[in-house]
Structure 1
């Protein structure tokens, strides 16, 4: 779902890979939606999904000439990162690295790898804005065939943490009540879900 807070990243991935480069890093805080956007990209281009800490176990022959999605990329060892960046330069190759910190902040020992990571295009994401969080909540409700009552989504947007994880969690907890999702129910469930609370603005009414 494209919104103000992720529009730049959404558009960048929609048009990539292209002539501007074969390696890109998608970075941002937990819950900003970067993994979701990366998964959409991987599905579109047929990328091989890898996890940073396990990437060294991948068969290089299966990666040649194919796009690769490397999640938690900062956990990959130097040799694996160097190899994946090289593979991305082949015809049909590309490497999307997903992490919280920018590659420029990763700790690496190999000087040549350091210079390559510093040259990577970085697309930064931020925590979801109101529009994005509303869309995420609406999508999570729809997945469970729930029609929330008037004002429920707006009520939740003002109160839960600004993350996709918090949105999914509150919808799951509301669904577990097996009752119509009204603002009163949302208030009740949030009252027992302090872990999902965003600090309310001064003067915010319950």
Structure 2
């Protein structure tokens, strides 16, 4: 029997406010986001592990504030005057470690945005002291910014995150699959993402539904 071709459907993350599940791991960060536009110094750092919801919260805030969102690697000097005319979010600031030109651009964006009376949201994994930024002036600005921290997930949040990731991929796992995964998996946002991705691939390749038995095979393969 010839092998069936699998159709990979596009992943469309749901990034609206109603799609963000509030738990003890993120309630303080959400509260600080909701303080806008009254952030101390008109700026905020949103930090947390990969997959913890930084991008989701950034989009929630951008919808509320009509902010422009860009990746730190995509920032250039010529864009700064236009960006500084309104609220702006710069994601993945640690990615420009080692790139002094990008760090200078972010430093100038920081200063001009605040000088124009607008607000600035920056995101990254971990505390800014660990971002390995070589530009002292930029590092001092980061260290002087209020931090909204997203923590590692509890069982309820981990279950909701996985359910959302399955839904983003237009997948419906058997009801006992997610509880089984939560009980036996590497307990992290990134671990959840990898498992959902692996189950999606295996389900497509074998044309099987996503069940506890399929989940066990994926978990066993990761040990």
Q: Say if 1:190 and 1:65 are closer, same or farther in 2 by CA, change over 3 A.
A: same
In the TM superposition, residue 151 of structure 1 has moved relative to its aligned partner by 2.4
Q: Please, what TM-score do these two structures have when normalized by structure 1?
A: 0.79
Residues 48 and 125 in structure 2, CA contact (< 8 A), matched pair in contact too: yes
What does 1:29-108 correspond to in 2, within 5 Å?
29-74=49-94, 75=96, 77=100, 78-91=103-116, 93-106=118-131, 107-108=133-134
Residues 4 and 131 in structure 1, CA contact (< 8 A), matched pair in contact too: no
Q: Which has the higher helix share?
A: 2
- Per the alignment, residue 33 of structure 2 pairs with 13
CA distance in 2, matches of 1:38, 1:155: 31
CA distance in 2, matches of 1:52, 1:141: 28
- Per the alignment, residue 128 of structure 1 pairs with 153
Residues 13 and 41 in structure 1, CA contact (< 8 A), matched pair in contact too: yes
Paired residue secondary structure (1:36): helix
Runs of at least 4 residues off by over 6 Å: none
Q: Please, what TM-score do these two structures have when normalized by structure 2?
A: 0.73
In the TM superposition, residue 9 of structure 1 has moved relative to its aligned partner by 1.0
Q: Say if 1:23 and 1:11 are closer, same or farther in 2 by CA, change over 3 A.
A: same
Paired residue secondary structure (2:41): coil
Q: Which deviations, in whole Å up to 9, do the C-alpha atoms of 1:65-86 show, x marking residues without a partner?
A: 2111111213164422321221
Q: Say if 1:42 and 1:187 are closer, same or farther in 2 by CA, change over 3 A.
A: same
- Per the alignment, residue 182 of structure 1 pairs with 211
Ranges in structure 1 where 5+ consecutive residues have no aligned partner: 198-206
CA distance in 2, matches of 1:109, 1:65: 24
Task: Please tell me the root mean square deviation across aligned C-alpha atoms, in Å.
Answer: 2.5
Q: Say if 1:163 and 1:47 are closer, same or farther in 2 by CA, change over 3 A.
A: farther
The aligned length equals 193
Q: Say if 1:134 and 1:99 are closer, same or farther in 2 by CA, change over 3 A.
A: same
